[in-house]
A and B are shown apart, each in its own frame.
Chain A
Amino acid sequence: MKLKVNGVERPVAAAWQNESLLSVLREQLGLTGARLSCGIGQCGACVVHVNGQPVASCVLPVSEAAGTEILTIEGLAREDASLHPLQQAWLDAAVPQCGYCQSGQIMQALALLQRIPDPDDAQITQAMNGNLCRCGTYDRIRTSIKNAALVMRETR
């Protein structure tokens, strides 16, 4: 079995083919940006993109992700190592407190902006409401999504 993650084909060892996508990303491929929090797809800390869609990788069997295009937070920075506009907006607004949920927040936000380049407040809330942040950084997340959306539209 192979996984195509951030544009690169990676083999999955036989003993790991019954694991969740999250476990394989973290423990086999060394991509630890997506994180385990609830384990039941209810909090968004483990969100990655599978064929462009945001999914909770903690409940997705890795076998179902084979043959798809997977994008993780580690694949967001550009080739020259500059940050994606969402990451830059997150940095500029100093969004993270503990930071544990933020990879998932950014990946969820990316999916939103790919679908709706100029989301209003209600659309942001609807898209982001399943991504929990115990530190309570929601206002800064909202602000950063708007700021990144502006940059992404301008550079389109």
Chain B
Amino acid sequence: MAQITRRKFLIASGWVAGGVTALVALRHRAVAVAPTIIFPDGESGATWVQIRPDGACQMFFPRIDMGQNANTGLAQIVAEELNLSIEDIQGVQPNTSQVPPLAVTAGSMSLTAFSRPMAIAAATLREQLRGLAAVHLGAPLSSILDAVGGFRTAEGQSLSYAALVNETSLVIEFDDTKSAPALYTFDSNRIKQQVGHSKTPLGTRGLVTGEPVFAADVPVAGVLFGRAIQPPVRTARMASIDTTGVAAVAGLVALVQTDDFVGVVCKTPSAVDAAMAEIEVTWDLEQPINQAEIDRLVDVDAEMAVGDLEQVLLDQSHRKTVDWAIDLRFDVQVQTHAAQEPRAAIAYFKDAGEGGHQLQIWTGTQDPWAIKRFAAMDTSLSEEDIIVYPMRLGGGFGGREHYEVERDAVRLARTVQRPVKVQWTRQDEFTASRNRPASAHRLRINCDEAGNLSDWWHGYVTGHVILARDRLPGWLLPVARLGEDMGVVKGALSPYEAPHQRVEFKDVDLPIDLGVWRSLNAAPAIFAIESAMDELAIQQGLEPVDFKLAQMGDQHPRLQHCLARVRALSLNATLPEGSGYGRGFACGIYDNRCFVAISADVQVDTATQAIRVHRLCCVQDVGMPINPGQLRAQIESNLTWSLGMALFERLEVGDNRIKSTNFDNYRIPRMADMPSVDIEIVDQPSIPPAGAGEVALIAGPPAIANAIRNATGFRALKLPISAADITAGLRGDRQVPVN
């Protein structure tokens, strides 16, 4: 596969059947996010833009759409560079045979990693066309000026792109060894027509008219329906299985059982439900699945009592024996993705005589090329015999990277030699999702006589994230774990300055499956950091925002700006008089490049046991806004998730199984929970865009917790926060940390 060049790929896919195409290699900009990805190498491409003979502009979308609408932002960049409107851009979601491997869509990296290559590709194309225009008009290159959809001269001649392009195909390759053409997107002096404007995302019309866009919507003739049993954890092994009643189910096509895989294929969806209900499995577990076991495994105090934690992120003149002003433990519970779409895939093995790929897979996945590779390993087919058609995801949030529902569909389809559609049930989603781990954080802080931070000690224990069990091959995992889990360290370093600091952690296996969840460790760690700093300010009789601004020193001006601005924004509304109302603030940095501050206004009614968030203000700086409306949408989404993380969501486990099964026992935010929202986006026209998909979630939960502290005096030490905890805490039933 590696021998096939980009150019050959484009020809094989019919992409360059005419017109001019520009493409850009990522080379060393490979996005190292998850260990399962296939990294783009020198032979891989990232961005393709083409003007076709009819003048239409086509681009391959390099990202999977799952709600973040990153491809729309990239199309805006292409339109800006080519003096087109985004409506003129025809986006094509490539399948795995059309382009070399693209990196997994994850880590909010789409704009960070792809905006510049995409701009270069489009600008390279523009300049190539400008050269053709100069030849065409017999005029010097410098006299060829930009025009909408083409070029013009000062003398009034004009040429559209269509007039410059014919059926002869021309491919221009750009790589990092060449100097980039002028990039309009990043020219802060240019008045932009596309970039920086709130364009409606491409594909929105199909979403409001009900067009088939998700994997389960794909019409495949003769499709059958299937499903497989999901274990409570991937290390579980079947102890017993009873399939006695399956054969009697009307509409059964096949019962498929190999090793620890058991599934059914039926003629209709209800027959699948009936057949699956006849399968009884008991499991052998390596660890008992219950909350007490999780609590024991992440008991940070027990670990720190034994000695240093395994991994040290920062050690700067650390002093262990200090009279701590703050010595608090924060616990964050397991959360799951609960995307609205239960994952689905359709697999179809064709007879060799039919031609084309032997195995076709339609699926919603963040990582289509990994699915192809894993399907090849699973079936012993070569990768060239497999084609994956990536479909839109009904929500990803980090939970859709692995060969799972695809495995079910592939194995079942191979047995029956017919196309098989598998869609997990909601319970399957809760049972088999790779969750955000529980974590426990011990925060110790002290101040000098002037009230400035002197000592900072943050130790935490969490389940693994990126290096979670079964996310890597078994032989690789112990090696990989010698290094840091990049998901576990996110958000752990605070923006505050102290001469004596230590940040250490230990990551452990939990009895449930773990993985990547929106913001990874950043939201839990920053909940602890921002809560502790708030408490310290209160203890010193200082206003928390002033205190935090002062303690950042001069290292984080963009964060300071966000925090100061959100305070100003919060003052636009007056907190109602009366008891139970409070306002809190929090801020944070995501991935060293995204800055956010949030204020929360809450009301705690201990009589009705209600916690109500009335208002959230958010100021966010992620560099240049490519599409402010979509940036805002991501903030809105993160604020909604902040409510869930702070107040509702906890994956319930017990009796050796996952007890959360559906939306009736795992509460996600609803319309009635929504506060009024005030969002300010900091415009940074000269700073390249960074992703916004996971940013505001880091500051939302601590802002809410700090508001509850302000309203009631109760310091939340556990997420989610319940009104019962507040009542009990204020009564003194449970330990109240300070004051």
Contact = CB atoms under 8 A, between A and B. Distances in A.
Interface of A: 15-16, 18-20, 23, 26-27, 30-40, 42-43, 45, 72-74, 76-77, 83, 87, 90-92, 94-103, 106, 124-125, 128-142
Nearest to B206: A99
Nearest to B627: A94
Nearest to B210: A33
Given A20-B269, A45-B340, A73-B210, A138 B674 contact: yes
B438 interface: no
Closest 4 CB pairs of A and B: A33-B210, A136-B640, A100-B394, A97-B67
A40 B425 CA distance: 10
B207 A99 contact: yes
Contacts of A33: 209-211
Given A40-B426, A134-B395, A142 B67 contact: no
B426 A138 contact: no
A35 B269 contact: no
Interface string B39-71: 000000000000000000000000000111100
A18 B270 contact: yes
B662 A134 contact: no
Contacts of B670: 129-130, 132, 138
A124 B671 CA distance: 9
Contacts of B213: 99
Contacts of A95: 208
Nearest to B211: A33
Given A30-B219, A97-B633, A134-B668, A42 B342 contact: no
B217 interface: yes
Contact of A32 (B200, B201, B212, B640): B212
A40 B664 contact: yes
B630 interface: yes
A129 B341 CA distance: 18
B695 interface: no
B288 interface: no
A74 B210 contact: yes
B268 A16 contact: yes
A27 B340 contact: no
Contact of B269 (A19, A76, A106, A132): A19
Contact of A100 (B340, B425, B668): B340
Given A38-B663, A125-B672, A138-B671, A98 B210 contact: no
14 contacts: A15-B267, A15-B268, A20-B269, A32-B214, A39-B425, A92-B200, A94-B633, A98-B392, A98-B394, A124-B671, A129-B671, A132-B663, A136-B641, A139-B636
B629 interface: yes
Contacts of A135: 67, 340, 395, 637, 640
B729 interface: no
Contacts of A98: 66-67, 339-341, 392-396
A72 B210 contact: yes
A96 B640 contact: no
A134 B68 contact: no
Interface in B338-381: 338-342
B21 interface: no
Interface of B: 66-69, 198, 200-201, 203-205, 207-214, 216-217, 219, 223, 225, 251, 267-270, 337-342, 392-397, 423, 425-426, 629-630, 633, 636-641, 662-664, 668-672, 674, 677
A20 B268 CA distance: 10
Given A94-B633, A98-B392, A99-B67, A37 B340 contact: yes
Contacts of B639: 136
B210 A34 contact: yes
A34 B638 CA distance: 26
Nearest to B397: A134
Contacts of B216: 26, 32, 35-36
- Quick one: which of B212, B268, B342, B425 has the most chain A CB within 10 A? B268
Contacts of A72: 210
Nearest to A43: B663
A43 B208 contact: no
A140 B629 CA distance: 11
A35 B213 CA distance: 11
Nearest to A73: B210
Nearest to A61: B270
A100 B208 contact: no
Contacts of B677: 139
Nearest to B641: A136
A37 B426 contact: yes
A39 B344 CA distance: 14
B268 A32 contact: no
B200 A37 contact: no
A92 to B, nearest CB: 8
Contact of B69 (A27, A97, A100): A97
Nearest to B213: A99
A39 B423 CA distance: 11
Nearest to A94: B200
A137 B636 contact: yes
Contacts of A40: 426, 662, 664
A137 B633 contact: yes
Given A40-B662, A139-B674, A141-B671, A35 B207 contact: no
A94 B636 CA distance: 13
A98 B394 CA distance: 5
Contact of B342 (A27, A30, A37, A130): A37
A133 B638 CA distance: 13
Contacts of B268: 15-16, 18-19, 23, 27
A101 B340 contact: yes
Contact of B270 (A20, A100, A133): A20
A10 B211 CA distance: 19
